């Protein structure tokens, strides 16, 4: 039976990562997958994580199952990060959070929950969006449509196009929004624009699902939640898929969360009982370690302060690399204005490199970039930048 199954195409991001690992060339540079690298080109375990892990190791008494929705202290910590510790939403118990295996796991929980409990079978994603969004929702049976987002000529947000498209979305349809650090463009709406979008959502009655994987990578943890919090003020219902892969560096611990906000605490409870049902039928209950680390850090004032410092360090290094990259491109005489790269948020930059140029960088220089031209700026270092810039100059 299996011999008739055709080969699946490689994943546009993780497939590239696999190809990178087997590339024997010493000069290779990986700017594909969204993983933070420090100045030495390594992806370190954060100091606050190491300390939290030592504490957990010492105090942990059992490896017994967690409940279907995971650790309650983790859920509380996630909600405080999302809505703010003093949020009325938390006081009124209108939000419920399930620990999930990574942001992808959280999105899949969202998709399963919506598909089996609401009438909508249509989800809207930005054009462009993270390559896995369409795949996750299609796997569940959704129709996936796109709303305008990126203006390739202006290298900025096509806000008029975005508004026009979202004003046509039907009541009940799901709209995925990137909480901050839009993946892949690095371009986010301003606070005023978020407020306008929230108005459209309220008028139209569509259901927002925030994909929030980079909280703390744009400005800081609080300001990066501006869009989400404006929506939560304006609407009675929304959902969030959180990931702590990047901001806690917990990539392989698959640490994420699905949060739903309902009109009342009672409505949140019954909707959440259905969330637990879909989780039970999928992975039963979540892996513990990453969530324990996050909950331990956020419950301890010293560890939390250390985390915020380390996050600021990562953010600052990426910003420095953006500035260096632009200045070295200019110094190398590469034609064009690349200053837009300095304005983008988060790990990624939409470079404007076309698929042929991306392919040439891989074939000729062992430089790995996602086919869309998305560059992981966090993969740049002082050491690999000159090589990268001269390679880009030669393919342009």
Give the residue numbers marked as catalytic: 130, 211, 246
Q: DSSP assignment of 136-168, as one string?
A: HHHHHT-EEEEEE-EETTTTEE-HHHHHHHHTT
Contact call for residues 65 and 57 (beta carbons, < 8 A) = no
Q: How far is the CB of 84 from ligand LMR (least distance, A)?
A: 25
Assess 100 for contact with ligand LMR (CB under 6 A).
no
From residue 241, give the alpha-carbon distance in Å to each of 102, 210, 282, 287. 9, 6, 16, 17
Distance between CA atoms of residues 350 and 344, nearest Å: 9
For ligand LMR, the closer of residues 243 and 328 by Cβ is 243
For ligand LMR, the closer of residues 95 and 107 by Cβ is 107
Q: How far is the CB of 222 from ligand LMR (least distance, A)?
A: 23
Question: In this chain, which of 13, 51, 176, 239 binds ligand LMR, going by CB under 6 A?
Answer: 13
For ligand LMR, the closer of residues 34 and 70 by Cβ is 34
Site pattern 342..381 for ligand LMR (x: CB under 6 A): ----------------------------------------
For ligand LMR, the closer of residues 14 and 316 by Cβ is 14
Site pattern 121..150 for ligand LMR (x: CB under 6 A): ---------x-x------------------
Q: What DSSP character marks residue 378? A: G
Distance between CA atoms of residues 367 and 376, nearest Å: 11
How many Cα atoms within 13 Å fall on the side-chain side of residue 305?
Answer: 2
Question: In this chain, which of 20, 30, 31, 34 binds ligand LMR, going by CB under 6 A?
Answer: 34
Distance between CA atoms of residues 202 and 198, nearest Å: 6
The residue count for binding ligand LMR (CB under 6 A) is 6
How many Cα atoms within 13 Å fall on the side-chain side of residue 363?
Answer: 9
Task: Classify each residue of 248-257 as buried b or exposed e, where b means 16 or more C-beta atoms within 10 Å of its C-beta.
Answer: bbbbebbbbb
Site pattern 182..211 for ligand LMR (x: CB under 6 A): -x----------------------------
Assess 33 for contact with ligand LMR (CB under 6 A).
yes
Adjacent-strand bridge partners of 143: 122
Assess 97 for contact with ligand LMR (CB under 6 A).
no
For ligand LMR, the closer of residues 34 and 179 by Cβ is 34
Distance between CA atoms of residues 396 and 394, nearest Å: 6
Contacting positions for ligand LMR (CB under 6 A):
13, 33-34, 130, 132, 183
């Amino acid at each position: 039976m299996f011999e008739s199954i055709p080969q699946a195409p490689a994943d546009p991001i993780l497939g590239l990562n696999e190809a990178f690992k087997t590339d024997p060339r010493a000069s290779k540079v990986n700017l594909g997958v969204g993983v933070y690298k420090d100045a030495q080109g390594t992806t370190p375990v954060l100091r606050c994580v190491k300390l939290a892990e030592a504490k957990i190791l010492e105090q942990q008494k059992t490896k017994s199952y967690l409940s279907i929705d995971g650790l309650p202290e983790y859920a509380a910590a996630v909600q405080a990060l999302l809505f703010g510790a003093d949020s009325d939403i938390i006081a009124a118990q209108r939000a419920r959070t399930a620990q999930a295996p990574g942001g992808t796991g959280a999105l899949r929980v969202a998709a399963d929950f919506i598909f089996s409990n609401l009438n909508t079978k249509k989800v809207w994603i930005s054009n462009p969006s993270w390559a896995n969004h369409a795949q996750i929702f299609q796997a569940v049976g959704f129709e996936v449509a796109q709303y305008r987002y990126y203006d390739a000529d202006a290298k900025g947000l096509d806000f008029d196009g975005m508004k026009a498209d979202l004003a046509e979305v039907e009541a009940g349809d799901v709209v995925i929004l990137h909480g901050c650090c839009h993946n892949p463009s690095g371009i986010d709406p301003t606070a005023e624009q978020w407020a306008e979008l929230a108005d459209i959502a309220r008028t139209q009655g569509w259901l927002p699902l925030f994909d929030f994987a980079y909280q703390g990578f744009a400005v800081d943890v609080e300001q990066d939640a501006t869009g989400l919090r404006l929506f939560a003020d304006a609407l009675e219902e929304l959902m969030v898929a959180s990931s702590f892969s990047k901001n806690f560096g917990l990539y392989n611990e698959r640490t994420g969360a699905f949060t739903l906000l309902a009109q009342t605490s009672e409505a949140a409870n019954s909707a959440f009982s259905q969330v637990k049902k879909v989780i039970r039928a999928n992975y039963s209950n979540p892996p513990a370690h990453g969530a324990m680390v996050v909950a331990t850090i956020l419950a301890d004032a010293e560890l939390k302060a250390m985390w915020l410092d380390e996050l600021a360090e990562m953010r600052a290094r990426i910003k420095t690399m953006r500035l260096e990259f632009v200045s070295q491109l200019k110094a190398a005489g590469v034609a064009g204005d690349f200053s837009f790269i300095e304005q983008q948020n988060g790990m990624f930059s939409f470079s404007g490199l076309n698929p042929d140029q991306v392919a040439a960088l891989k074939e000729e220089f062992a430089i790995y970039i996602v086919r869309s031209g998305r560059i992981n700026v966090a993969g740049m270092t002082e050491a690999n930048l000159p090589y990268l810039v001269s390679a880009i100059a030669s393919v342009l």
